A and B are shown apart, each in its own frame.
Chain A
């Protein structure tokens, strides 16, 4: 017998509508991709007890438990409770599963906790952002990556946050061994050169990846006390016009980024096309409609950018328009 279930409510509760009638899958969100091992055991046990014994690892660092009978959802929610509590997410009611599924899980690479190149604590920033914007039905994707390698593929997100450090150079500790120049060339963007046996950094070219600091054998290069970020915006996948996010801000600070993403929700509320399926629309399409300047006006409201922050006056995206023409040439 088909259960009388509100499928739309179910989806908002982070249960997927399965193609197998009568079944669902529970999505466990893992902000920043870091989950306690004991909670992973709990997730596995739910799969054993209520699912089909399998777990699916999602592209956005979630864990999906497939093969759950719809009638078991209340029991599954009960079992999700400790996992939600441990996730430190912004959700007071932990008795009814995950709230809302519009704003997607916040993705992060391992960052400085593990990676030698990570320029900041991606997990902590992802968790802070999670607190700031969850739960929310608006379709927003935010991702964090530790350095310009972009292992977290932040360029496919509405907001892609990339870590930067401003390399500090002490010429008195430099012996012109050339390691920084060599590795900047081979691993980064060739922003360094030796002039009169001391290193000169092209400040415009430098992407703040910190490779020079990692490879300097004498501590002539060190990291700035401040952590900086590059923000890429409005990347997306999808059927119509997939495209990579483009640089909007660089040398921006953490507080400003949180505020900007929060502000963006008001912009979405103002301009979203509610006729879109399930009231969801990639922000980039809204920006295409309103113009980039209008987005900036809303996003930067009451944001005081630091003196080092550079802001792009224009941002241009590309990507194929499949809604116009997709014949191969």
Chain B
């Protein structure tokens, strides 16, 4: 089961669309468990270390193999690596149970139907991406796959939220082998 907890206000229609997308992609039950308060802390500019925020976010009732997805409005950062700090759209405990995405990097939601639809698609894509990491999926080289890195220059302007064949089969295998 995938449980979505929001740390920032999200339009109910957007939430419904996101639930539908996740359920269609992974074939798992998905629900919105409610709004949580953003914990205190974070940097002065309002950004959060993604790993710290994931640990500090409020508890969500979940059973074994449940995946919890947090949606934050604050920009997220990651620790610097050997070549610098990569852009952060979200973070997931690889093979674990918790993941978080930020709305800060998404394009403007806008007011037109097309822009809202585009925004929802991108939100769904990022959600599928981090939940895929929770099911042991690595990044994929296929730019049409949702597991392609979010910052990749090969990514189209409105990327799809579906998985490529390899990633879909791998995630299905992992889901089948899950204890519950």
Chains A and B form a bound pair: no
Chain B residues proximal to chain A, CB less than 8 Å = none
Chain A residues proximal to chain B, CB less than 8 Å = none
